[in-house]
Structure 1
């Protein structure tokens, strides 16, 4: 497909997303099934255009004066990809499979459109209803933070130190030109192409041998801040696909008793293959569903040294990777997540032995899911107290993070990572 034909496809998909309010992944998949002539490279390039359009959906619509797939994509080519009006016009030339030529009004918008007078939800490409919460966190840095949150995310991997060192992994991946991540001693960053696409790491021989996992540097840092130690009994309470369980196993050299579980057994499905590939020693406890459902951790109550709660959340800190998620977020979604967080924190507290440590992590930027969730637990469980998170385990992090009342907040503008929050608590010994 020509570059212009890819633009036409992206416009069609964006219009589908806008009209039916459906997930971007579903719309992209359906387009691919209906257009089987498109090769894998075409499909990847089209998806990249669609996701860039979603990143800049509000600001592009403002610049172009309407919210359609065409307007969003034209605005995105200027705002996100830095193309000038003549370059955009050359792609919209009306040739076979190309979008119709730019109108005089569109040309004028491209030349004269500005975000100077745009409200913050437009200039920052974010849902208006979350702005008061984000302003409470970021203060005067709200717009700079939102603008960075609307850019593409880097492609980071966590080296599996159960199998080799970071230096050895970098050498094995030399053809990809990786560089060391700025903060995590476990990470490598792989350059992206100009269109935002990275290499197919999931088919790389080193990945298939368990040499690395694809994991944002912020998630790596959160794992390091969990402070896992050899000899401990550790529960990863919201393990999902197992990314942090694998990291904790590597950090302790498989010398801790590590138990992974999740309230939703479907989320645990990928962990088994990942464990086989990585060589991580993790006990997976999968809850049953239906009437036979039982607490798979009941035998551990009051005896666990360390509990990691990577809580279900709105994912506001991952909007760079999942721009579709910010436009699908609703106030009801937040209230539902807050209730889930309270439930899982209460369960975590019951697992802790006296003197044990609870590490609470989200990939959210909203104080309601972070400090407020910790405050809620401290009020409900008087035997739990907040303690400072040890930042010394990640050299240089102390100067980068934003401190909150109960924890620390990473963000794209400050740490160059997804927006992870980490807070540490302990059960009183006496």
Structure 2
């Protein structure tokens, strides 16, 4: 496909997203209907779509499209179209739209007089448009991050670097860098964690490379690894990853200590890939739990990477930025409290309960922990840390809570 055809395809997919279809489903459905597109084409189109999702409001402003985000639901006559969104994003990323809006076969039609005028007269954007943030979130982020809020939000408009975790139980970080170099991948040590690497650029097919295929290296954000580094892990511990998801933190913990690892998730389907990944990494999973069979017994360490707004990971999951509402945030805070209470009951005397989110918001972090400690006097906080996206990873929070004996 030509670059112009890729832009046209991205615009068609954005039309579907603007109509309420989730981006991943829209991309998959488009690929199934256009099997002529190769893997490179699909990856490039995905990058275009996700670039607009990160910068939806500013793209709409530059493309003279309505300032309405994908979660709006009630479009009336003001639904933005993929053509205008792609036009606006090309302009603000320094591309010449005329090179893509050619009218050639498979390309979008030439620029109209109105579109040309919009390009020539850049808009005066409001703060929420410039920062690509819902307006209702701005005062919350200002209160929580102070004068760093704008810098953080601008960082979240861009694509996240590719982070890797070295399985230190099987290979050193230096050996991992050499193994990746033999596959044509350049990586450097990342300062957030002794196991973390960051890759130069955005190479395709990384997961199929031998070091990842053989379980020597896993894809994982550096800040996520740094959260695990703060956990008090010792050999022989009975450990529960209570909100395990794909199990990335379970595998990271196993890279630090030989322990008895158990996993649980409210949606067991999220853990479907964990067993083969654990086998590749040489990590035995002692128990897998779900709603039908809740965890039993006492654990030395319980990690709760709780469901949250995902505001620290908006670079990776930009749709979450537009789907979040005040009501949804309130519901998440309720869920977080319930998870902490359930996990506390599974933590043995003298054991550790670790609470983590990929959120930037105090309401989901410090305030959630303070509310839990006021409910359960058996625990005290002994450690914790915030990780900012400005440090080169996702935004994360972790609190280390000890159950007093």
TM-score normalised by length of structure 2: 0.92
* CA RMSD between the two structures: 1.7
User: Which residue does 2:94 correspond to in 1?
Assistant: 82
Q: Once the two structures are superposed, what CA deviation does each residue of 1:55-81 show, in whole Å capped at 9, x if it has no partner?
A: 1110111122213211211121232x3
2:271 is aligned with 1:268: yes
Q: Is the 8 A contact 1:245 1:282 kept in 2?
A: no
Q: Once the two structures are superposed, what CA deviation does each residue of 1:114-153 show, in whole Å capped at 9, x if it has no partner?
A: 4xx4222211112223223222211222222111111100
2:309 is aligned with 1:314: yes
SS in 2 for 1:235: strand
Q: Is the 8 A contact 2:164 2:221 kept in 1?
A: yes
User: Which residue does 2:112 correspond to in 1?
Assistant: 103
Shift of 1:285: 2.2
Shift of 1:257: 2.4
Matches within 5 A, 1:300-339: 300=298, 304-339=299-334
* In structure 1, distance between residues paired with 2:266 and 2:371: 21
- Residue ranges of structure 1 left out of the alignment (5+ in a row): 390-407
User: Which residue does 1:24 correspond to in 2?
Assistant: 23
Q: Is the 8 A contact 1:162 1:280 kept in 2?
A: no
2:235 is aligned with 1:230: yes
Shift of 1:294: 4.2
Q: Is the 8 A contact 2:62 2:87 kept in 1?
A: no
1:92 to 88, 101, 106: 101
User: Which residue does 2:136 correspond to in 1?
Assistant: 129
SS in 1 for 2:381: strand
- Residue ranges of structure 2 left out of the alignment (5+ in a row): 66-79
SS in 2 for 1:173: helix
Q: Is the 8 A contact 2:186 2:199 kept in 1?
A: yes
Matches within 5 A, 1:84-233: 87-114=96-123, 117-174=124-181, 175-192=184-201, 197-233=202-238
Q: Is the 8 A contact 1:249 1:282 kept in 2?
A: no
1:418 to 383, 386, 394: 394
Q: Once the two structures are superposed, what CA deviation does each residue of 1:35-69 show, in whole Å capped at 9, x if it has no partner?
A: 11111111111111000011111011112221321
* In structure 2, distance between residues paired with 1:39 and 1:275: 31
User: Which residue does 1:58 correspond to in 2?
Assistant: 57
Q: Is the 8 A contact 1:92 1:100 kept in 2?
A: yes
With over 3 angstroms needed to count, the CA separation of the structure-2 counterparts of 1:226 and 1:78, relative to structure 1, is: farther
* In structure 1, distance between residues paired with 2:28 and 2:324: 21
User: Which residue does 1:392 correspond to in 2?
Assistant: none
Q: Once the two structures are superposed, what CA deviation does each residue of 1:162-211 show, in whole Å capped at 9, x if it has no partner?
A: 2211111111110111111132210221122xxxx432122112211111
User: Which residue does 1:357 correspond to in 2?
Assistant: 352
SS in 2 for 1:61: helix
* In structure 2, distance between residues paired with 1:227 and 1:282: 19
Q: Is the 8 A contact 2:63 2:86 kept in 1?
A: no
Q: Once the two structures are superposed, what CA deviation does each residue of 1:220-272 show, in whole Å capped at 9, x if it has no partner?
A: 111111232223222211112110011101111x2x22222223222222211
* In structure 2, distance between residues paired with 1:69 and 1:137: 34
With over 3 angstroms needed to count, the CA separation of the structure-2 counterparts of 1:125 and 1:161, relative to structure 1, is: same
Equivalenced residue count is 389
* In structure 2, distance between residues paired with 1:236 and 1:268: 11
2:255 is aligned with 1:250: yes
Q: Is the 8 A contact 2:305 2:356 kept in 1?
A: yes
User: Which residue does 1:241 correspond to in 2?
Assistant: 246
